[in-house]
């Protein structure tokens, strides 16, 4: 493998082809939307659906969010789809603010995290890990400005 040759890890291509990497998350988000719909229509109790989203759906996209740079509109599309489905499942009134879905459980919300914010947090954490890596080559690469 050469320096600029991409490779795949956990189904996500890695390397320097940023255009391909940007669109690589779209099929994964489509699958997540289908899985979210299946959960919502499954007959599980609403609290079980919310728990399943947090435990099974979000972790499946976490690695991709850390390493890919998807458009915000794609991430927002998944969040909107999930919010509409949960809104219907929970039989919430039309006036329910979307903040209810993202407010922590300890404050009376569902405790979900928007994918746009989750991506930002994961990329910051990944950058921090790279900057503080025990390997000097990783630290040097992380300190270089993006081109």
Residues 26-60 pLDDT 10s: 888 899 999 999 999 999 999 999 999 999 999 88
State residue 69's pLDDT score.
Answer: 77
Higher pLDDT, 135 or 103: 103
- The per-residue pLDDT for range 83-106, each reduced to its tens digit, is 999 999 999 999 999 999 999 999
- The per-residue pLDDT for range 56-68, each reduced to its tens digit, is 999 888 877 877 7
Chain mean pLDDT for the chain: 84
Rg (CA), the chain: 18
Measured in whole angstroms, the distance separating CA 41 from the mean position of its chain's CA atoms is 22
Please state, in angstroms and rounded to a whole number, the distance separating the CA atoms of residues 92 and 71: 29
State residue 49's pLDDT score.
Answer: 96
Chain position carrying tokens 């299946």: 38
Task: Tell the burial category of 25 from Cβ atoms under 10 Å away from its Cβ (0-12, 13-18, 19+).
Answer: buried
Instruction: Give the C-alpha distances (Å, rounded to integers) separating 106 from 59, 103, 146.
Output: 21, 8, 39
Instruction: Give the C-alpha distances (Å, rounded to integers) separating 64 from 4, 70, 102.
Output: 20, 9, 21
Residue 13, classed as helix, strand or coil, is: strand
70: closest CA among 32, 108, 42, 40? 32
What's the predicted TM-score (pTM) here?
0.75
């Amino acid at each position: 493998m050469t320096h600029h040759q991409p490779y795949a890890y956990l189904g996500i291509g890695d390397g320097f082809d940023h255009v391909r990497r940007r669109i690589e998350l779209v099929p994964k988000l489509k699958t997540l939307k289908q899985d979210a719909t299946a959960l919502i229509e499954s007959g599980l109790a609403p609290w079980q659906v919310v728990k399943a989203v947090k435990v099974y759906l979000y972790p499946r996209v976490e690695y991709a969010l850390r390493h890919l740079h998807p458009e915000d509109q794609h991430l927002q599309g998944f969040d909107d789809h999930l919010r509409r489905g949960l809104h219907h499942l929970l039989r919430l009134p039309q006036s329910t603010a979307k903040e209810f879905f993202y407010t922590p459980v300890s404050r009376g919300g569902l405790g979900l995290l928007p994918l746009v914010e989750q991506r930002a947090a994961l990329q910051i954490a990944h950058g921090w890990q790279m900057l503080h890596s025990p390997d000097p080559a990783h630290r040097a690469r992380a300190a270089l400005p993006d081109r």
